[in-house]
Amino acid sequence: MRAWSDRERLESPFFRRTDFDVPSRLLVSQIVVGGAIEPKIDVRLRDGFAYPAFLQSPFVEDPMTNPTQRNRLDEEESPYLRQHADNPVNWQPWDDQALEEARERDVPIFLSIGYSACHWCHVMEDESFADEEVADLLNENFVPIKVDREERPDVDSIYMTVAQLVTGRGGWPLSAWLTPQGKPFYVGTYFPKEAKRGQPGFLDVLEQLANSWEQDRDEVENRAQQWTDAAKDRLEETPDSVAQAEPPSSEVLTTAADAALRSADRQHGGFGSGGPKFPQPSRLHVLARAYDRTGREQFREVLEESLDAMAAGGLYDHVGGGFHRYCVDADWTVPHFEKMLYDNAEIPRAFLAGYQLTGDDRYAEVTAETLEFVDRELTHEEGGFFSTLDAQSKTEDGEKEEGVFYVWTPDEISEVLEEETDAELFCARYDITESGNFEGTNQPNRVRSIPDLADEFDLAEDDTEQRLESARKALFEARERRPRPNRDEKVLASWNGLLINTCAEAALVLGEDEYAEMGVDALDFVRERLWDADEGRLARRYKDGDVKVDGYLEDYAFLARGALRCYEATGDVDHLAFALDLARTIEAEFWDEERGTLYFTPESGESLVTRPQELDDQSTPSATGVALETLLALDGFAADENFEKIASTVLETHANRIEANSLQHASLCLAADRLEAGALEITIAADELPAAWRDRFAAEYRPDRLFALRPPTAEGLESWLEQLGLEEAPAIWAGREARDGEPTLYVCRDRTCSPPTHDIEDALEWLGDNANAVESDSTSLDEPESPF
């Protein structure tokens, strides 16, 4: 690497202007990167190359005495961090030692954030981080820190917010340069090593930012402070006064659904007019619930169009089940091939809602196939769920390529399926062509119907289906012999909570106990390894016996919701007890009564440059939204807690923000609807939940349904109350014993209950009569009238 000449410095557009697009509303002053140019630069020779003096670091120490002078990622368990352990860059994990090193050396931090299945993260590693020239520049002038965004979503949230505010976009890898105090002064995503296609080269950026730090320190720090203030305003601050505020209006759910309609692609399904296309399950839940509340057919139509498109297109793995991350085009043909646990939890849950609303068996099949994929490929042998499958895998030549594990050519299909008709049938069904849809190969897309194919091939429809299923199984077995994508085997509490919730819901809706067992096994796994019952604290990540990172709001909220749903599906009060314990810690660690909000990071956790909230829905649902719905559901079991008050207050605090952009806050809209509608309590006094009752209630879409099994006798209930740490029976159980020694059913809404009954049809009839309003002759919750 050579030094910049004086003329090159003066003529470089990078030195002469800012490379940031700063919205004027942020009032962030712009500075000239590189600042004033001295007429002469002190240049020193080293290894035969000329280096500016500002790139000469006096802090060259023996790595044996200063561990930060070597790459420390070999000490980490995160697969993403371990992928970079052999880089010549002296990568540090985000920890006190690395941050203190930056302060002691008084040099900026280069922060690189990514995750193991990230395609462009791999590209930037190959081009830059594995390069000695880049490594020398990074090591001498910065403290390079590598962060797995899946382990540290708090760090990711802060600096990604800055990137979005400053540049109007974001993505991974996220590249940020920080002061030694962690305040950002330059941000970007992927950089090529050398400048190309209008992108600055990474080497140039490093040189110029090192120069700016040396020569324009005051201006850089001024910018860093203003950007930090902007991030705090976006992430941490709440309205000054909410004393007279009210929760969002009852119309906010419909407002969000109307916004979803406006953004819907009515031709291809999903949302947005072009690519890339993301599944956005939170929007689908808004549509489902708004349709249930209003009966507006447009809401159902857009829901079905989106589910149909995702189930038929390349987003879905038609050979092995499960969903890829997103599609790069408008018509859902070619995916970005990584598979994430959270997608394969939240998308099937939307399909379950679609199945309840429409009765379309294909939605149930997609759910079952996806859970089979998770069980087969993302499940720890002892029960927890792994995080991701990489988009890349090796070709026959040993080179890594994206999607190669999943794609096919017609010749490959014919080689596996010996009967010509079967090969032609499969290719016609899934659009496998010679030209291909992905780099000369084909990601299967279901484009032809069974009746259409049966007619063309002169086959019975049953025979057509059987042939296609046999072909799929044969292709799956052949695909299993290919080199597999890498698997990130972190077990994250939050993502496990998402899938645990879906497993339990699938058990209820589809009537399959095996899904409940799958969810309970994972819940037990997480509880045993990540939950400290004595301290009431949850850790976030488990990997090969190593536990790391204090849990965030999403860990507690997603897992509490999953535990509650496991109680509903199995009737095991131990799951309910765990959900209540998690909820109490949410109140203790994340609830700020003075500001009326829930924060994403625990009060006792690490102090960063800002303490973020998570209000928006992103690739996962809003942690705050899920927390509020879960607290509202649990309030019926712990009336002496502040759960409903917390939920109501948070919605009041953010009411203006939610109503101003309801679709961006989909999960908070769902929580506001739950607060407005109240729970549909289905209390069953029995030793176990009768399957017939479960199936009848769960078959229909009832988003606020709450199954509340309790022991049939008062004596049995006392034992449960002791286990839950409750002094008296909560209203959802109180006075609702079994009658005549038989399982007895109580259905309640808005503090009004049906008479106790042994006949589910009577309960359903009462529910139908009281679906939207409480009738004047209904039985009071406080004085139940029994026909027995």
What is the predicted pLDDT for the residue at 750? 79
- Regarding whether 424 and 275 lie in a shared domain, the answer is no
DSSP-assigned states of every residue in 104-134: HHT-PEEEEEE-TT-HHHHHHIIIIIT-HHH
- Regarding whether 509 and 651 lie in a shared domain, the answer is yes
The domain containing residue 762 runs over which residues?
Answer: 679-780
The pLDDT tens digits of the residues spanning 720-778 come to 999 998 999 999 999 999 999 999 999 998 778 899 999 999 988 888 877 654 333 33
Would you say residue 571 lies in a domain? yes
> How do beta strands 705-710 and 680-685 pair?
parallel
> How do beta strands 174-178 and 184-188 pair?
antiparallel
Would you say residue 587 lies in a domain? yes
How many other C-beta atoms are found inside a 10 Å radius of the C-beta of residue 731? 18
What is the predicted pLDDT for the residue at 37? 30
Q: Which residues contact 326 (CB under 8 A, 6 or more apart)?
A: 276, 277, 278, 279, 315, 335, 336
- Regarding whether 497 and 525 lie in a shared domain, the answer is yes
Pick the closest to residue 70 from 101, 49, 111, 44 (CA basis).
Answer: 101
Domain edge (last residue) among 453, 481, 509: 481
Would you say residue 438 lies in a domain? yes
The pLDDT tens digits of the residues spanning 415-467 come to 999 899 999 999 999 999 999 999 999 999 999 999 999 999 999 999 999 99
- Regarding whether 385 and 427 lie in a shared domain, the answer is no
The answer to whether 680 touches 702, Cβ cutoff 8 Å, is yes
Domain edge (last residue) among 235, 265, 299: 235
Q: Would you say the C-alpha torsion 612, 615, 620, 625 has a positive or negative sign?
A: positive
Q: Which residues contact 682 (CB under 8 A, 6 or more apart)?
A: 697, 705, 706, 707, 708, 745, 746, 747, 763
Residue 169 burial by Cβ neighbours in a 10 Å radius (0-12, 13-18, 19+): exposed
Domain edge (last residue) among 639, 655, 676: 676
What is the predicted pLDDT for the residue at 769? 77
- Regarding whether 272 and 181 lie in a shared domain, the answer is no
Q: What is the CATH number of the domain that holds 10?
A: 3.40.30.10
What is the predicted pLDDT for the residue at 64? 55
- Regarding whether 279 and 225 lie in a shared domain, the answer is no
Would you say residue 152 lies in a domain? yes
Pick the closest to residue 269 from 284, 290, 286, 253 (CA basis).
Answer: 284
Which residues of the chain are modeled with pLDDT < 50? 1-60, 773-788
The pLDDT tens digits of the residues spanning 567-606 come to 999 999 999 999 999 999 999 999 999 999 999 999 999 9
Given its phi and psi angles, is residue 87 left (phi above 0), alpha (psi -120 to 50 degrees) or beta? beta
Would you say residue 394 lies in a domain? no
Would you say residue 397 lies in a domain? no
What is the predicted pLDDT for the residue at 771? 61
- Regarding whether 659 and 687 lie in a shared domain, the answer is no
- Regarding whether 435 and 475 lie in a shared domain, the answer is yes
- Regarding whether 124 and 54 lie in a shared domain, the answer is yes
Rounded to whole angstroms, how far apart are CA atoms 226 and 252?
Answer: 34
Rounded to whole angstroms, how far apart are CA atoms 348 and 342?
Answer: 10
- Regarding whether 166 and 79 lie in a shared domain, the answer is yes
Would you say residue 643 lies in a domain? yes
DSSP three-state, residue 753: strand
Report the run of H or E that residue 243 belongs to, with start and end: none
- Regarding whether 434 and 319 lie in a shared domain, the answer is no
The answer to whether 112 touches 174, Cβ cutoff 8 Å, is yes
Q: What is the CATH number of the domain that holds 260?
A: 1.50.10.10
Q: What backbone torsions phi and psi does residue 625 show, to the nearest 5 degrees?
A: -60, -45
Would you say residue 99 lies in a domain? yes
How many domains, in total, are found in the chain? 4
Rounded to whole angstroms, how far apart are CA atoms 781 and 731?
Answer: 9
- Regarding whether 299 and 365 lie in a shared domain, the answer is yes
Q: Which residues contact 367 (CB under 8 A, 6 or more apart)?
A: 348, 351, 352, 355, 506, 510
Q: Which residues contact 515 (CB under 8 A, 6 or more apart)?
A: 371, 503, 504, 506, 507
What is the predicted pLDDT for the residue at 197? 87
